[in-house]
């Protein structure tokens, strides 16, 4: 599996996808209940008809920016609802995007991806509601502190995304604005900063002037990066005639994925053009973005219109012909960099004092004025009340994602469903365990009665095995840690599963290798071959020696036996190929043990 280093589960695993869809549906019902509760609160509170002050008007550039990025956050949230998102995002998006970044960046991204690997379903659903909640909040919060807080929240979340994605890939080899670096999230963060400043600043020319110049510096810097020699942007092929231009390579990659024939043809044709005329294509992007950045330093309406037209054309061309609309090519989590850049460019070139949002106001006669002479509007408090209630609902939707995401990061637990999916669900049973007479690696005798009053976790291990048995023993050790203080009421028992190599000396070497000799409730048992065969037969261990080797072939089954000596659960203990799956089995086993503790 890409998200788990290639081990055990495919991104299209139906059990994981079904669990993902069910959790989304259940939380959608919660969101629906929140909306209904908000509507009821609005109706009850608005029935008083108490007059409120006239709302503050909003500058047109800010209104456009707020609505544009509000809708964009919602689109991003809906894009997270892809079946492959839980198991494909960590590897297919995060790790893949950082492959050519420096080692320290890859380590940072891998740390974030590992958290996702452990709780893929919870985190995939959490991201949906965080982004939809942010979008709703930006759309409804038109004024006041609520609107600024929505901007702050979008900055925080955008920076989190930018950080865990390896700074949007800006440090990767061949980074370029045209192919998506430094990431859409840093532009979302910039828009959030503009929405977080006081609304009164938008009525000043200086606010938009500063914002335009910051965007201008960004575009000039990206243009210089695009033009920097030695990055391969000015060449089309190598000495063997193979395409090497990063723009052409991305276009070819985008054209190869499943999509409508028209978009595939357009992107492929642009890639061919770039390969054969790299000076023309790269020169256009360097010129267009560089000149747009320079023009943004001007206050001339004519030059700003030119910047909007030139920059808009460059972003549309890059989005359609290079980024492939940002929607095709694997797991698309946002429409890519050009869309938010286009939105910022349009908003910041509208002018500092565009026409405000018009709000209908009742006539201002004496009866409509408060004690201090300010105009009041009877029953016109609904917009402000709607703002308050809808903002609370939006924050609650965000919390629906933030709370489980924070919990997943804090406790470091792994979803047991991963191991359960790999090994099939545990089988509940109820039959008597088999009496036995065995001894451990120190020669101490053990019988079934030795473990009465404790939960016994029984499995069969080959003491000379060099792969799965070692991993199962490690999983048992982790399970012991997960049980905490309750582990004193649990005994982990392994019975030797090798017809030839089952002596106490071999068991002792296994325990030393796995550092299990100090675990008081770990018991690796052996005995006469006839007694071992009786155990293997009763518990379906199916032990046979491998041809031409010392290792044995046996089934990887684990039995949870209650304190009364009855077998209550059978679970397949076949370990996965990654540590995440091993941890998942440990979580699953601990969960199966707890109900039977005395």
**pLDDT top residue among 58 and 138:** 138
Which stretches does DSSP call E strand in 334-381? Answer: 376-377
**Average pLDDT, stretch 573-586?**
84
Q: What pLDDT, on the 0 to 100 scale, is given for residue 250?
A: 87
Judged by DSSP in three states, 543 sits in: coil
Give, to the nearest 10 degrees, the angle between helix 60-79 and helix 120-140. 160
CA–CA separation, 318 and 335 (whole Å): 12
The percent of the chain in helix, strand and coil, each rounded to the nearest 5, is: 60, 10, 30
| β-pairing verdict for 455-461 and 544-545 | unpaired
Q: For 311-319, which contacts have Cβ atoms below 8 Å and span 24 or more sequence positions?
A: 311/219, 311/341, 311/342, 311/345, 312/342, 312/345, 312/346, 313/288, 314/284, 314/285, 314/288, 314/289, 315/339, 315/341, 315/342, 315/345, 316/342, 317/284, 318/177, 318/178, 318/285
Burial group, residue 534, by CB count within 10 angstroms (0-12, 13-18, 19+):
middle
Instruction: Tell which CATH classification among 3.30.230.70, 2.60.40.2140, 3.40.30.10, 3.40.50.11400 matches the domain 417-596.
Output: 3.40.30.10
CA–CA separation, 308 and 289 (whole Å): 11
**Concatenated DSSP letters of 183-235:** -HHHHHHHHHHHHHS-GGGGGSHHHHHHHHHHHHHHHHHHHHHHH-TTSSTT-
**pLDDT top residue among 373 and 154:** 154
Mean pLDDT for the chain overall: 86
- Look at residues 313, 320, 178 and name the one whose alpha carbon lies nearest to residue 259: 320
* Statement: residue 375 has pLDDT above 70: no
* Element counts in the chain: helices (H) and strands (E): 20, 12
H-type alpha helices, 445-560: 468-483, 504-513, 529-538
| β-pairing verdict for 490-496 and 522-525 | parallel
Answer for the pair 490, 521: CB distance below 8 angstroms, yes or no. yes
pLDDT band at 284 (very low <50, low <70, confident <90, very high): very high
* Statement: residue 54 has pLDDT above 70: no
**Average pLDDT, stretch 431-437?**
95
What the block records as the tokens of 531 is: 């007694």
Answer for the pair 496, 502: CB distance below 8 angstroms, yes or no. yes
Answer for the pair 385, 42: CB distance below 8 angstroms, yes or no. yes
CA–CA separation, 262 and 240 (whole Å): 30
Residues, the chain, total?
598
DSSP 90: I
What the block records as the tokens of 46 is: 């608005």
Q: What pLDDT, on the 0 to 100 scale, is given for residue 49?
A: 52
CA–CA separation, 382 and 506 (whole Å): 79
Answer positive or negative: Cα dihedral of 469, 475, 478, 483. negative
CA–CA separation, 104 and 101 (whole Å): 8
CA–CA separation, 65 and 212 (whole Å): 13
**Concatenated DSSP letters of 131-177:** HHHHHHHHHH--SHHHHHHHHHHHHHHHHHHHHHTTGGGTTSTT--T
User: What would the pLDDT profile of 221-246 be if each residue is shown by its tens digit?
Assistant: 999 999 988 778 999 888 777 888 88
pTM of the model: 0.85
User: What would the pLDDT profile of 492-511 be if each residue is shown by its tens digit?
Assistant: 999 999 988 999 999 999 99
CA–CA separation, 575 and 585 (whole Å): 8
Residue with tokens 């004025």: 369
Q: Domain residues of the chain, as ranges?
A: 1-148+379-412, 204-358, 417-596
pLDDT band at 56 (very low <50, low <70, confident <90, very high): low
User: What would the pLDDT profile of 124-158 be if each residue is shown by its tens digit?
Assistant: 999 999 999 999 999 998 888 899 999 999 999 99
């Amino acid at each position: 599996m890409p998200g788990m280093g290639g081990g055990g589960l495919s991104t299209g695993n139906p059990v994981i996808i079904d669990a993902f869809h069910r959790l989304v549906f259940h939380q959608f019902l919660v969101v629906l209940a929140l909306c209904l509760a908000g509507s009821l609160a609005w109706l009850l509170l608005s029935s008083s008809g108490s007059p409120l002050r006239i709302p503050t008007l909003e500058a047109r550039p800010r209104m456009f920016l707020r609505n544009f990025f509000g809708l964009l956050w919602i689109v991003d949230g809906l894009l997270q609802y892809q079946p492959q998102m839980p198991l494909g995002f960590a590897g297919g998006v995060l790790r893949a995007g950082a492959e050519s970044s420096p080692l320290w960046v890859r380590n940072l991204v891998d740390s974030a991806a590992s958290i996702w690997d452990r709780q893929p379903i919870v985190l995939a659903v959490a991201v949906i509601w965080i982004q939809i909640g942010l979008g709703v909040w930006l759309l409804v919060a038109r004024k006041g502190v609520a609107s600024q807080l929505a901007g702050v929240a979008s900055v925080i979340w955008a920076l989190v995304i930018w950080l865990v994605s390896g700074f949007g890939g800006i440090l990767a080899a061949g980074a370029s604005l045209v192919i998506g670096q430094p990431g859409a999230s840093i532009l979302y963060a910039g828009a959030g900063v503009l929405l977080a400043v006081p609304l009164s600043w938008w009525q000043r020319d200086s606010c938009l002037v500063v914002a335009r110049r910051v965007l201008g510096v960004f575009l000039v810097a990206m243009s210089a990066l695009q033009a920097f020699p030695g990055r391969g942007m000015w060449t089309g092929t190598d000495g063997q005639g193979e395409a090497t231009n990063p723009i052409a390579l991305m276009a070819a990659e985008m054209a190869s994925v499943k999509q409508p024939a028209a978009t595939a043809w357009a992107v492929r044709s642009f890639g061919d053009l770039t390969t054969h005329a790299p000076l023309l294509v790269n020169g256009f992007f360097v010129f267009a973005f560089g000149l747009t950045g320079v023009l943004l330093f001007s206050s001339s309406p004519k030059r700003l219109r030119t910047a909007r037209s030139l920059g808009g054309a460059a972003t549309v061309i890059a989005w359609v012909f290079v980024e492939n609309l940002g929607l095709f090519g694997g797991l698309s989590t946002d429409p890519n960099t050009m869309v938010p850049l286009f939105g910022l460019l349009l908003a910041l070139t509208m002018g500092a004092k565009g026409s405000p949002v018009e709000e209908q106001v009742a006539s201002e006669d004496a009866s409509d004025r408060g004690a201090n002479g300010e105009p009041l509007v009877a029953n016109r408090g609904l917009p402000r009340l709607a703002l308050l209630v809808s903002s609370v609902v939006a924050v609650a939707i965000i919390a629906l994602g933030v709370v489980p995401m924070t919990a997943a990061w804090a406790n470091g637990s792994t979803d047991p469903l991963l191991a359960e999916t790999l090994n099939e669900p545990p089988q509940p049973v109820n039959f008597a365990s088999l009496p036995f007479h065995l001894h451990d690696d120190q020669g101490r005798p053990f019988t079934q009665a030795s473990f009465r009053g404790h939960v016994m976790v029984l499995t069969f291990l080959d003491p000379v095995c060099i792969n799965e048995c070692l991993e199962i023993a490690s999983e048992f050790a982790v399970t012991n840690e997960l049980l905490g203080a309750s582990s004193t009421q649990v005994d982990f028992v392994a019975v030797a599963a090798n017809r030839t190599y089952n002596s106490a000396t071999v068991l002792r070497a296994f325990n030393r290798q796995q550092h299990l000799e100090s675990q008081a409730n770990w018991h690796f048992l052996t005995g006469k071959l006839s007694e071992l065969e009786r155990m293997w037969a009763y518990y379906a261990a199916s032990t046979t020696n491998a041809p031409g080797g010392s290792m044995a072939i046996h089934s990887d089954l684990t039995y949870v036996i209650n304190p009364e000596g009855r077998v209550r659960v059978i679970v397949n203990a076949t370990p996965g190929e990654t540590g995440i799956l091993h941890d998942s089995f440990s979580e699953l086993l601990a969960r199966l043990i707890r109900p039977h503790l005395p």
